[in-house]
């Protein structure tokens, strides 16, 4: 894959992760979030995907 396609893929992962976190936590306050281990684990996993994807985006796109 070329760099532009890679960047597009990583940005897509970032956006998908954000949408998932919003969906998973919709209507939940912080107390409910902390009390629900499945929600918590799902959000943590999506944040990991987001972090890994942002690290792989080329400097050309980041700047």
Chain center to CA of 31: 22
pLDDT at 1: 60
Q: What is the chain's pLDDT, residue by residue, as a tens digit (63 residues)?
A: 678 889 999 999 999 999 999 999 999 999 999 999 999 999 999 999 999 999 999 999 988
Q: What is the pLDDT of residue 2?
A: 78
Q: DSSP assignment, residue 57?
A: S
SS3 2: coil
- Nearest-angstrom CA–CA distance, 32 and 10: 30
Q: Give the integer Cα–Cα distance in Å for 42 and 48.
A: 10
The candidate with the shortest Cα–Cα distance to 50, out of 3, 10, 1, 5, is 10
Q: What pLDDT is stored for residue 3 in this prediction?
A: 80
């Amino acid at each position: 894959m070329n760099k532009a396609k890679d960047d597009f893929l990583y940005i897509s992962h970032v956006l998908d992760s954000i949408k998932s976190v919003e969906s998973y936590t919709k209507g939940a306050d912080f107390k409910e979030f902390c009390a629900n281990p499945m929600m918590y684990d799902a959000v943590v996993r999506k944040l990991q995907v987001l972090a890994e994807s942002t690290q792989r985006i080329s400097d050309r796109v980041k700047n």
